[in-house]
Amino acid sequence: MQKINNKLNLLRELMAQRSIQAYLVPHSDAHDSEYTSDSDERLAFISGFDGSAGIGLITNTIAYLWTDSRYYLQATKQLEHGWELQKLEPGVPTWVEHAKANLKGQAIGYDPLLISHQLKKTRGASLEDVEFKAINENLIDLIWTNKPQDSLSEVIIHELEYHQYPTTKKISQIFENLKQKQAKSILISKLDQIAWVLNLRGNDIKFNPLFKSYLYLKDDNTGTLFINPTKINQQVKQYLTENNIEIKSIQDVFNEKFINTAVTPAEINHRLIQQVEDPIVLNACPIELLKAIKNEREIQGFKESHIRDGAALVHYLGWLEKQLLDGEVLDEFQAATKLAQYRFKQSRNMGLSFDSISSSGANAAIVHYHPTENNKSIINPNHIYLIDSGGQYLDGTTDVTRTYHFTQPTVEERNAYTRVLLGNLDIERLKWPQKSKIHGGDMDVLARRWLWEANLDYGHGTGHGVGYFLNVHEGPHGISKYRTEVFQPGMIVSNEPGYYEEGKFGIRIENLILCVKVNNQFLGFENLTYCPYDRNLINLDLLSPRDRNYIDQYHAVVRKTLLPLMEEQIAKDWLIKMTEPL
């Protein structure tokens, strides 16, 4: 019997009524967010695929999903009947190329709230003979029964004691940076930028302390926050008033006229830009760089929150190893839940910074795998275990990955682990002349060269920026061949090379590192993460005396810093064992 996908059939009926032959469903929201609220997970609803990157194109006969190498295995598992995976790699047509070849003279519909103005312009131009047609009601929403409601949780103030960076100062700096453009106002739609400028945090998107809104600022230090007003309590209302920010309903932004206002077309959705007359076009929003360079208080917060986070992680790992070696049967989801409990106990904790990637054996080869109550595996102590996790704290955001083997690893696993570790250390130990203006594209090869030597590699970037009690992923800097933002002191970046053997195991080692001044002329990195590497997986033959010494010094610091915070004997014993000299 042939399977029928009713959701696709209902969608195709709506497409026919609107005279379109295809419909585009990006993984996105009206604010160009990487991680979206449950009510914005339209691609997951229509396709079954819930990764954080992807785009769906539904035609009259077939539905296609395009995603990148991090998600191939996940998409293969999750895509529902009637869907076909298209890999984002050389030789495979992109959705635009596919449309040009197969939809000539036809129309593709899209929701202008979910496509940035820049994307509309570039894709629209390259589609040539295919009409790219804005449809103001979202067709997925029309067929989504039991669609989750938007969160109504209240916005909170991120108190000055945690960042020492008042909103008035931030607004002045934004306009200082816009002077050359002679912009007297700016319209902002990215949620982490809005939260950062206003020193407010919310709870609209899981793991990301954001609130859905738009922000209009003027160079006289006044502004308007467009938000659901029920989310603003008396205290926050008073705070906004003191900062000369008025509150209007979020829908009102589409009735306003903004004249000669600065906008970033890559970030602002195509629907909202219709409200801007004579826009001043920015290639990059100045907030991105201001937000990326942490001040002294934020750096102190990052350091302190990483110590508490390291204590939580070591308690968990000590507990996990003992359970497994005692023959307890544990699944990946139970383990992740236990780790979360250790984090929630830490002072100033505000939850997790993303879904924990608690993965055993072959699951560790799925880069963005995360176990759920209904999709999980038993942790096999004879296989590699990879845990990539993080916490949100009032004084920082953490993101750390460790890979362990609790019994006897294979030669292949030890060699791969050691090469990944050497790549990680080579990035961390790098020093460079500040005047050379070095960016992530210049250094990415250092993380890979040990792997390349053995004909191995990994398909993702090496590092991303991290927010301060904000998004775990932020720009504009990062470490990958595509990153061109020059490193400056105060920037924090993840350092996370890996290696993945499909169907067998995955390895990743991730620390957060801070760009610092080494002296008057040179910059370098300082490791902020406190958690032992796996001595059991290190092949000493691949290490130079300098490497061994460096790892020993790190382990000595980890032990000295975390030992006083160990509340359980098991954790204490595990920490001491794991930080012995190699």
Mean pLDDT by 10 residues, the chain (582 residues): 78 98 97 95 97 95 94 92 96 95 97 97 92 97 96 97 98 97 97 98 97 98 97 98 98 98 98 98 98 98 98 98 98 98 98 98 93 95 98 98 98 98 98 98 98 97 98 98 97 98 97 98 98 98 98 98 98 98 98
Report residue 189 as tokens: 């739609």
Cβ atoms 373, 332 nearer than 8 A = no
The C-alpha angle 546, 547, 553, rounded to 5 degrees, equals 90
Report residue 354 as tokens: 């993303």
Residue from 541, 205, 523 nearest 351 by CA: 205
Could you tell me where the DSSP H helices lie in 243-295?
286-292
In the block, residue with structure tokens 């529902």: 80
Report residue 59 as tokens: 């035609």
Q: Quote the DSSP letter at residue 470.
A: S
Residue from 402, 428, 383 nearest 509 by CA: 402
CA dihedral 26, 31, 32, 34 (to 10 degrees): -90
For residue 135, give the 3-state DSSP assignment: coil
What pLDDT does 368 receive? Answer: 85
d(CA 471, CA 40): 17
Could you tell me where the DSSP H helices lie in 248-295?
286-292
Report residue 433 as tokens: 């002349």
| Structural element, H or E, at residue 450 | helix 440-453
- Phi, psi torsion values for 3, nearest 5 degrees: -75, 145
